[in-house]
Amino acid sequence: MTKTMSRAGRPRSFDQQVALGDALDVFWRKGYEATSLDDLTEATQLSRSSFYAAFGSKRELLLHAYRRYADAFYADMKTLADEHEDAKAALRAMIKALVDARPDDRGCFCVNAIVELAPSDPELAELGRAHIQRMCALLEELITQYGTRRPLARAQAATLMTLTMGSAVFRRALVAEDTLKSVQKQALGLLGLT
Amino acid sequence: MTKTMSRAGRPRSFDQQVALGDALDVFWRKGYEATSLDDLTEATQLSRSSFYAAFGSKRELLLHAYRRYADAFYADMKTLADEHEDAKAALRAMIKALVDARPDDRGCFCVNAIVELAPSDPELAELGRAHIQRMCALLEELITQYGTRRPLARAQAATLMTLTMGSAVFRRALVAEDTLKSVQKQALGLLGLT
DNA sequence: CACATTGTGGACTGAATGGTCCACAATGCA
DNA sequence: TGCATTGTGGACCATTCAGTCCACAATGTG
C-alpha cells in the first residue's frame, strides 16, 4: 500500500522516552486534571506540535505514562523475586521496597491515577485492575513457594497489595514515617516472616 | 462594632446542609478538578451568587465537604464502638463496615481528596492527617481493651487503617468483591479475631 | 543543488473555567 | 406603607484550557 522507498525528513530533536519520563513525572506530582499542556510542554521541552505528533493527546500520553510506570514497577518486583533464591527473603525485600519508598508526597503513580480517573476512564481502570492482578499473582506465587496453601496464599497476596496501596495514600498525605514502618512490620508478621 | 439591631432581609430558599450534601456527592464521584461550577450549581440547584454567598469558593466548599464527611465517618465508627459492650465485637463490626461498603466506584471521599489534592493543598493534607490519626486512636483504644499491649495495639490500628484506605483504592478500580472479602478476613485474623 | 519528506515554533481558536456584579425579589420592622 | 436588609437570577468577565494549523527548518536522495 504505502510507498516504502525514499524516507528522509528532518530528524527528531528529542528522545521520546526521555520526554515520556518527564511527562510522567509531572502527572505523578500534580495529577492529571491539574496538569496543563503548558506544564507538559515546559517539562518535556517540546513544542505543542511535536508534543501532539509524538503522543496524540493529553489522555493518550497519560495512558502511555501509566503503562510505562506499571511495567517498570512490575519488572522491578520480578527482578527482586528472581534475585533471591529463598522466597521468604524475596518477599522480605519486596515488602521493604513496597512500603519503604521515598518519604515524599508523590505516593504511587498507579494509585494516584486510579483514584483520580478510574471511574471516568474505563480503559485506565482496566489497566489498573490488570496491574493489580499481575502484582497479586506474583506475590501469590512467591508465597506458595514456602508451603502456604493456595487459597490462603491468594488472600495474603491481596492483603499485601492492599497494604501497599494504603501506604501510598499515607505517603501522599505525609503521614509520619514511623507509622509506615510499623505497618511494614505487621505485613511481615502477617506472612509469618519474623 | 457592628449594628446588632434590626435584621430582616429575604429568607434563604434552600437548606445549606442539603446543598452541602449534594455538592459533596459530586466531588466524591468526579473528584475536585473535574467538577466544574456548573456541575455544582446544577447539583445544588443554587444560583452562582447564592453559591458564593453560602460557600465562599469552590475550594472552601471542598474543605467544608471534607470536614462533614470525615466527621460523619468518625461519628459512625464511634457509635459502632459504643453500641457494642465487647471490644472484639465492636472491631468485627467496624472491619465489616470499613471494608464492606457499597460495591460502587466511589471509594472513600477522604482517600480520593487526599490523593488528588494533599500535595498541593497543605490545609487539606492536614485535615487528612488529623482524620487518619483520630481513626487510628479510636481503633487503638478498642484493641487495647481486650489485653493487647500498647505499642502492638498502635501498630495494629495503623495497619487496619492502611487496609481500609487500600480497600478504598481497590473499590475505586472496581476490583472483584471477593478479593475485598478475603482481605477483610485477613484483617480479622491479624487482630486475632476468628 | 532541487525536491520530497518529516519535524518544529508559535500564533491562533473556540470552548470552558472560576469568579464578580447588579438589578430585582422577598422579608421584618417602624 | 416605606425602608433597611438580605437573598437570588443570570449576564458578564478575564483567564486558561486542550487542541489545530501553517510557515519554515532540517534532513536524505537524485
For residue A9, the model assigns a pLDDT of 82
Pick the CATH number of A66-190 from 1.10.3470, 1.20.1250, 1.10.357, 3.20.20: 1.10.357
Q: Strand C positions with any atom < 7 Å from protein CB? A: 4-11, 16-22, 25-30
For residues B14 and B20, give the distance between their C-alpha atoms in angstroms, rounded to a whole number.
Answer: 11
Contacts of B162 (CB under 8 A, 6+ apart): A162, A163, A166, A167, A170, A183
How does pLDDT run along chain A (194 residues), one tens digit per residue? 333 444 688 999 999 999 999 999 999 999 999 999 999 999 999 999 999 999 999 999 999 999 999 999 999 999 999 999 999 999 999 999 876 777 899 999 999 999 999 999 999 999 999 999 999 999 999 999 999 999 999 999 999 999 999 999 999 999 999 999 999 999 999 999 98
Residue in A159, A169, A187 closest to B114 by CB: A169
pLDDT for A2 equals 36
> In 10 A of CB B75, how many CB atoms?
10
Rounded to a whole number of angstroms, the CA Rg of chain B reads 20
Top residue of B99, B117, B165, B191 to mutate, by most chain A CBs within 10 Å, is B165
CA distance to partner chain A, nearest, from residue B12 (Å): 34
User: Which residue in this structure is represented by grid cell 508465597?
Assistant: A143
Residue identified by cell 466527621 is B71
Query: Residue B98 has what pLDDT?
Result: 74
- Pairwise CA distance, residues B91 & B139, whole Å: 8
Tens digit of pLDDT at every position of chain B (194 positions): 333 344 688 999 999 999 999 999 999 999 999 999 999 999 999 999 999 999 999 999 999 999 999 999 999 999 999 999 999 999 999 999 876 777 899 999 999 999 999 999 999 999 999 999 999 999 999 999 999 999 999 999 999 999 999 999 999 999 999 999 999 999 999 999 98
Residue B160: CB partners within 8 Å, gap ≥ 6? B95, B98, B139, B187, B190, B191
d(CA A188, CA A70): 24
CA dist., res. B169 & res. A3, Å (int): 49
Residues B193 and B186: beta-carbon distance below 8 Å: no
Distance between CA B63 and CA B20 in Å, rounded? 11
Mutation for B interface: A162, A185, A186, A188, most B CBs within 10 A = A162
The answer to whether the Cβ–Cβ distance between A190 and B187 falls below 8 Å is no
CB of A174 closer than 8 Å to CB of A105: yes
A 10 A CB-CB count for B54 gives 18
Q: Which three cell numbers stand for residue B80?
A: 459502632
CB within 8 Å of A5: residues ≥ 6 apart: none
Q: From residue B90, how far is each of B93, B98, B133 by CA, in Å?
A: 5, 12, 19
Protein CB footprint (7 Å) on chain D nucleotides: 4-11, 16-22, 25-30
- The terminus-to-terminus CA distance of chain A in angstroms comes to 64
Chain B contact set for A173 (CB, 8 A): 114, 118, 125, 128-129, 132
List of residues 6+ apart from B124 with CB closer than 8 A = B62, B63, B66, B113, B114, B117, B118
Rounded CA–C1' distance between A58 and C16, in angstroms: 17
pLDDT attached to residue A8: 82
Our measurement of CA A38 to C1' C10, in angstroms, reads: 13
Q: What pLDDT is attached to residue B97? A: 85
Q: State how far the Cα of B154 lies from the Cα of B150, in Å rounded to an integer.
A: 6
Map out the domains of chain A as residue ranges.
66-190
CA dihedral of residues B106, B108, B113, B114 (deg, nearest 10)? -140
Question: What secondary structure letter does DSSP report for A131?
Answer: H
Q: What is d(CA B35, CA B37) in angstroms, rounded to the nearest whole number?
A: 7
Q: Is the CB of B6 under 7 A from strand D?
A: yes
Residue A148: what are its φ and ψ, rounded to 5°?
-70, 135
Q: Do A166 and B170 touch (CB under 8 A)?
A: no
The amino acid present at A165, given as its one-letter code, is: M
